[in-house]
Structures are given as C-alpha cells and as structure tokens.
Structure 1
Amino acid sequence: MEWTIRRYKDPDKETVLSLYSQVTHEHIWPSFKEAMSSPLYLCFSLGLGITGYLLASGLGALVLVSGWAGLVYYCSHKLYADYAKDSLKTDMQDIQASYMAQPDDCFWVAETVATGKVAGMVAVVAKTNGTMRYSELFRMIVSPATRQKGLGSRMVQTVLDFCKQRGMSKVTLVTSASQTAAIALYRKMGFKLVLSHTKTHLVVCRLKVILKIHLIHK
C-alpha cells in the first residue's frame, strides 16, 4: 500500500474530523482495562466483592463489582468522548489557524494513492523554553485499515525531518499508557521515555483516569 503525505487543505476537514473522532473513541476500552488492572482498582474491586458476599452472598458480590466496573467504563467513555468533543470545538475546528499559521508549525494528512482517501494525520507545533526552540507532536492518527503497514513510521519521520530542517533541538510528545502500539512505534523511531505519571481523582461520581507517558526525540 502506498501513501502520499502532504500538507492539510481545507477540503480535507470533514474527513479529518471524522477520522479523528473515530480513533479517539477507540481509546475508551484500553483506558478501561488499564484502570481496572491497576493495583488500586483491583483492591477496591476485591473489597467490594467481599463486602457484597458478606451482605448478600455471591449475588451481592456480583452486583457490587459489576456496578463498579460499569462506573469505571462510563467514566473512561466520558473522558475520551469529552476530550474528542472539546478538541473538535477548539484546535481541530480551525486546523489552518491552530497548526499552519506559523512557519514552524504544520499539519499533514496521509492519502492512499489508490483511492485518494485520508488514511492518517499528524501535526507539529513549535515551542520555546528560554532560548531553546523545540517542537511538540500532536494529533497522530492512523486509520484502522492502514495500521501495521508502515504509515505511522512514515508520518513520524515526516515530522522529524521537518523539525530538523527548522533547526529544532528536540521533538516531544505526550501519550497515554494504554496506547501500547503507539508507544512501541515512537520508541522504534528513536523517542525516549522521560517522564511518566498517573493521576486519578473522583469528583461527583466522575472518575478520571489519566495515564500519561512523555517521550522525547533529540
């Protein structure tokens, strides 16, 4: 399969937004599994199971644990659904202004040569830290039909080549720990793990689980 990686154009908008929303929602299930397999949640599930069993035998345990799992799934769904919704209303609503207004920023789409369909996207934004200029990679998306075929590597390399031409000192990105395939790709392309953190909090029955990995390429 062959692709053409080119700069984003306004006629791409509808297809790009649809693909972005679709792939962002794919992260719901991995996020749920990541949360439920954490030591904290496993202990909480065990505690609920024991409590339910003591109060109402096996049925009580099943009800409490199932209810807890349902809550975590709902919150994982809401987290990514809200994230996609917010992104589509902000930076993704005007890609030209958000990612292409400055010479050191860019947004690319990957087009399948045979069909002309958009198969992926990636963006980069220039940052400044004192006298150091660097870039941050954003909105890396590969359509389900074209994964494991080399498109992801080509798009990342496009970003790295662009940043090198612009004289950037490094390229950074942030991704979630549940995106294991993406992390493997970034590491294959030379990115190194520099920071990892977990933040979990419960606010009025809205549980947010945020697992982030920071990677850097110099």
Structure 2
Amino acid sequence: MSDYSIRLYVDSDYEVTRNLFRNGIIEHHNKAFHHALQRPHIWLPALVVLTLPALNLVSVTTSILVVLTAVAAIWFYCRYMYTSYVDYALSDDMLDISKYYLQRDGFCFWVAETRGGEVVGTIAALPSSDPGGEKHLELKRLSVATKHRGKGIAKVLCRTLIDFARRRGCEAVVLSTSLAQINATKMYEKLGFRQTHSFYPPGLLGQFLDFKIIAYRYDIPAL
C-alpha cells in the first residue's frame, strides 16, 4: 500500500471517479446471472421444456429456442438490475460529487491515488438515513480499479472511513451490497463487519432472480 495514498476528492477526479463506480458495479451482473440460473424455479422449467420433443409436443428447435430466449432474458434482467442502479446514482449523488459529499456536514469522499497520480479507488461516507441510525455512518461508492485489486487498497479506504466515523462520534458504520459481490462481502467480514439482515429490492423481479441485498454493520469500539 506504500505505493498509494488516500486523499480527498477534487473536481479533476470527476470522470475517472464516475467510471470507476460504473465499471465496478456493472461487472457483477454476470455473477448475478450465474447465481440466478442455479435457482430451481429457473432451471427446472428449462429442463421440462427440453424434454417436450421426446413427447412429440414441440420440435427440438422450438424447445431450444424457448430455453435460449429465457436464458437471454434472465441475462438482460440481471444486467438491468445493475445498470439501472448505476444510472440512478450517476444522476443523483455522483452527479455533483463535490457539492453532495464535500459541502455537507457528515459527508465525505476519498480517492486512492498512485504515486504517478492515477486515481484507482474511491469511497464515500454519508449519515445513515435508516431509522434509529442517527449515530451511524453509511459506507458508499467503494470501488477499486481491476488491475489494482488485491493490494489492500479497499481495506485502507474502509479504515479511512471508519476513522472518520470515529472522530465524528459515530457508533457504527453501515453498508449494503449485493449478494453477487462476493469478494467485497469477504473483505467486509475480515474487517469486522457483521451481516445484520438481507432483503430484496422493490418489485417481483429481484425475488425471481434471487437478487438479494445484504446489509452489514461495523460497531466502533468505545474509547
């Protein structure tokens, strides 16, 4: 980690920061797709359709086309779950990062930078809006460029945010992430975050694809 430093976001980081966020989120859609295909309520009907030609109910070509169309639709919907979230974030808090995160009390945004001046990681903090979370800080927008992963950057970014929360007198840091973000969940748990609950996004699509959101909490030790 000595080849990297953590600093506050500046406006010249705008495009690279948004791209890091976009790429870091959308890359998970294939994992979500593979997870969905493992659900019995998805692959069992596909097997039934593939057996229909043996009963002379449909042609082999038709059964294969039906299954392929269904698989393509599932892939599209998995990707949509991530792209729609990215589109929303880029038009919300990531639209004017300085104004949203650096000009409001209790908010902050950091980047990880190489010695050569390349921004390769991001993380954001904001007061939790959850009921009863008045003294909780929420971790958002954690992302590290693919070629710079495995070097401890994400952990240092998280610890930077935790230290920020501690200095502000917060009792806990909370976050939510999708089930498909396996490496992220492992890292959070190694840092001391514990899973508190899980839920599906609004609508039936998330439940159908088993697109589960996992909530984590890190309790800040009292001094």
Check 1:19–1:132 CA distance in 2 against 1; reply closer, same or farther (3 A cut): closer
Bigger shift: residues 31-40 or 181-190? 31-40
What residue number does 1:145 align with?
A: 147
What residue number does 2:89 align with?
A: 87
Aligned pair count reads 214
Check 1:32–1:131 CA distance in 2 against 1; reply closer, same or farther (3 A cut): closer
3-state DSSP of counterpart to 1:120: strand
What residue number does 2:17 align with?
A: 16
Distance 2:162 2:212 in 1: 25
What residue number does 1:120 align with?
A: 121
Return the TM-score normalized by structure 2: 0.87
Identity of aligned residues (%): 29
Partners of 2:122 and 2:142 within 8 A in 1 = yes
CA-to-aligned-CA distance 1:85-133 (integer Å, 9 cap, x gap)? 22111110111222222232110010011x2111110001013645841
Are 1:166 and 2:168 counterparts? yes
What residue number does 2:204 align with?
A: 201
Partners of 1:191 and 1:215 within 8 A in 2 = yes
Distance 2:54 2:110 in 1: 55
Amino acid in structure 1 at the alignment position of 2:15: E
Distance 1:52 1:198 in 2: 37
3-state DSSP of counterpart to 2:128: strand
Amino acid in structure 2 at the alignment position of 1:65: V
**Equivalent residue in structure 2 for 1:133, among 132, 135, 144:** 135
Amino acid in structure 2 at the alignment position of 1:201: L
What residue number does 1:105 align with?
A: 107
Partners of 1:172 and 1:216 within 8 A in 2 = yes
Identify, as 1 or 2, the structure richer in strand: 1
Distance 1:49 1:83 in 2: 34
**Equivalent residue in structure 1 for 2:72, among 59, 70, 73:** 70
3-state DSSP of counterpart to 1:122: strand
Partners of 1:30 and 1:178 within 8 A in 2 = yes
Return the TM-score normalized by structure 1: 0.89
Q: Which runs of 5+ in 2 are unaligned?
A: none
